[in-house]
């Protein structure tokens, strides 16, 4: 990995998209390119027009590099003081504050400290790195104001497959251990089952295992979403799986590039999660994030008939 630094504008931003999802009103992002380098990362497509890529001589859709802003905690501190309307902030929405390059600069912890120093703010932590557990001492001091989530993208028996598509994130087994620890320490938690890739993490038994797990960890809510097909996420994911010899998994990713198959995957995924939530928890705590534009009419109608737990986007 090549790690770049770059100074971004601002610290705490409004995030209408994440507010609509029910995740947070504000976002803090510690850089522009996350070093976890997940092949399905939709941030590459979302941020592709940023001038930083050209300035640093990199292509937005390339892999193998990260971009962090070492000065972000100072601007977060300024904004935390300056903004009159406080609310729920997510760290982060387009990168990961506990990715290796951000860890080196303690960006996750420093941003947390900056926000929590000001009354009125609450924080949603979202990461794919178990290193967040190093900061549970700080979070514990502000227990009521922080809710902790680690994205679970499969069951631990699929760690060897997920290592190919999430090359620098913690294995799911370690993320689970961190979430379990958070719960044992009395921290507030939520479930983030996202993305659940076809052929890797979408079988009803796997979903049951994940739902049961987050329930046991005291999850206040459970968010879930299908893989986002923006940019080159599907082609890159298929390619690395094929190169690593996971041919059946690569075929499953390839198949959902066809709209009808994509739509069937999303419906089946939602219905499995909804069923699992009904069995183990309640759909009142489910937030299945759903963009209806890619759904076939009959699939959209099937979901509409019983859409308890859907957040229509």
Q: Give the other-Cβ count within 10 Å of 119's Cβ.
A: 8
Nearer to ligand SF4, 34 or 210 (CB): 34
Nearer to ligand SF4, 56 or 296 (CB): 56
3-state secondary structure 161-203: HHHHHCCCCCCHHHHHHHHHHHHHCCCEEEEEECCCCCCCCCC
Chain-centre distance for alpha carbon 287: 14
Taking the complex as a whole, the smallest distance from the CB of residue 191 to ligand SF4 amounts, in Å, to 16
Taking the complex as a whole, the smallest distance from the CB of residue 197 to ligand SF4 amounts, in Å, to 12
- Residues 60 and 32: their CA atoms lie apart, in Å, by 10
Residues at the site binding ligand SF4, with contacts judged by CB under 6 A: 34, 36-38, 41, 43, 95-96, 99, 128, 169
Nearer to ligand SF4, 234 or 303 (CB): 234
Taking the complex as a whole, the smallest distance from the CB of residue 38 to ligand SF4 amounts, in Å, to 3
Taking the complex as a whole, the smallest distance from the CB of residue 96 to ligand SF4 amounts, in Å, to 4
- Residues 228 and 65: their CA atoms lie apart, in Å, by 21
**HSE-CB of 125 using CA atoms within 13 angstroms:** 37
Taking the complex as a whole, the smallest distance from the CB of residue 259 to ligand SF4 amounts, in Å, to 23
Taking the complex as a whole, the smallest distance from the CB of residue 34 to ligand SF4 amounts, in Å, to 3
Nearer to ligand SF4, 36 or 300 (CB): 36
Question: Which residues neighbour 300 within 8 Å (Cβ) at sequence distance 6 or greater?
Answer: 292
Nearer to ligand SF4, 37 or 202 (CB): 37
Nearer to ligand SF4, 41 or 214 (CB): 41
Distances (CA, A) of 37 to 148, 236, 268: 22, 11, 28
Which segments within 6-145 are labelled E, that is strand? 13-14, 26-28, 31-33, 65-68, 88-91, 122-127
Cβ atoms of 6 and 51 within 8 Å: the answer is: no
Phi, psi at residue 101, to the nearest 5°? Answer: -70, -30
Taking the complex as a whole, the smallest distance from the CB of residue 32 to ligand SF4 amounts, in Å, to 10
Q: For residue 296, is the peptide bond before it cis, meaning its omega torsion is within 30 degrees of 0?
A: no
- Residues 52 and 308: their CA atoms lie apart, in Å, by 42
Nearer to ligand SF4, 134 or 307 (CB): 134
């Amino acid at each position: 990995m090549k790690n770049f630094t770059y100074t971004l504008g601002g610290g705490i931003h409004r995030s209408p998209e994440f507010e609509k999802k029910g995740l947070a009103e504000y976002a803090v992002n510690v850089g522009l390119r996350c070093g976890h380098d997940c092949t399905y990362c939709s941030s590459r497509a979302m941020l592709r027009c940023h001038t930083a890529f050209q300035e640093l001589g990199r292509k937005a859709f390339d892999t193998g590099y990260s971009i962090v802003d070492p000065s972000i905690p100072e601007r977060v501190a300024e904004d935390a003081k300056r903004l009159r309307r406080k609310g729920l902030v997510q760290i982060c929405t387009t990168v990961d504050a506990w990715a290796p390059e951000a860890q080196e600069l303690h960006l996750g912890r420093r941003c947390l400290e900056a926000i929590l120093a000001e009354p009125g703010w609450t924080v949603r932590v979202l990461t794919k790195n178990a290193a967040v557990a190093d900061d549970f001492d700080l979070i514990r001091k502000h227990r009521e104001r922080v809710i902790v989530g680690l994205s679970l993208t499969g069951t631990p028996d699929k760690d060897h497959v997920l290592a190919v598509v999430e090359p620098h994130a913690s294995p799911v087994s370690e993320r689970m251990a961190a979430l379990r620890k958070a719960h044992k320490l009395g921290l507030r938690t939520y479930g983030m089952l996202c993305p659940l890739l076809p052929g890797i993490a979408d079988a009803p038994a796997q979903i049951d295992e994940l739902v049961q797990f987050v329930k046991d960890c005291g999850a206040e809510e459970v968010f879930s979403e299908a893989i986002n097909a923006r940019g080159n996420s599907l082609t890159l994911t298929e390619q690395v799986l094929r190169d690593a010899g996971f041919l059946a998994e690569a075929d499953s990713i390839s198949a959902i590039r066809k709209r009808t198959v994509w739509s069937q995957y999303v419906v089946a995924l939602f219905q499995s999660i909804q069923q699992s939530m009904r069995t183990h928890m309640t759909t009142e705590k489910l937030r299945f994030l759903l963009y209806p534009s890619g759904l076939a009419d009959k699939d959209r109608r099937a979901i509409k008939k019983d859409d308890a737990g859907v957040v229509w986007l």
